[in-house]
Amino acid sequence: MVAATLKAALGCYIYFAGLRAFEEEHNSASRNFTASSVSRIVSTFLTNPLNIIETRFELAYFHGYSSVSAAEKTFYSVKV
Question: pLDDT for 35-67, tens place per residue?
Answer: 889 999 999 898 888 787 777 767 766 666 666
Residue 4 to residues 10, 17, 21, 52: CA-CA distances in angstroms? 10, 20, 26, 10
Task: Please state the domain count of the chain.
Answer: 1
Q: What CA–CA distance (Å, rounded) separates 59 from 66?
A: 10
pLDDT of residue 72: 67
pTM for this predicted structure:
0.63
Does the pLDDT at position 79 exceed 70?
A: no
pLDDT of residue 64: 67
Longest dimension (CA), the chain: 54
Residue-number span of the structural domain to which 62 is assigned: 2-77
Q: What CA–CA distance (Å, rounded) separates 51 from 25?
A: 35
**Poorest-confidence range of 20-24, 30-34, 53-57?**
53-57
Mean pLDDT of the chain: 78
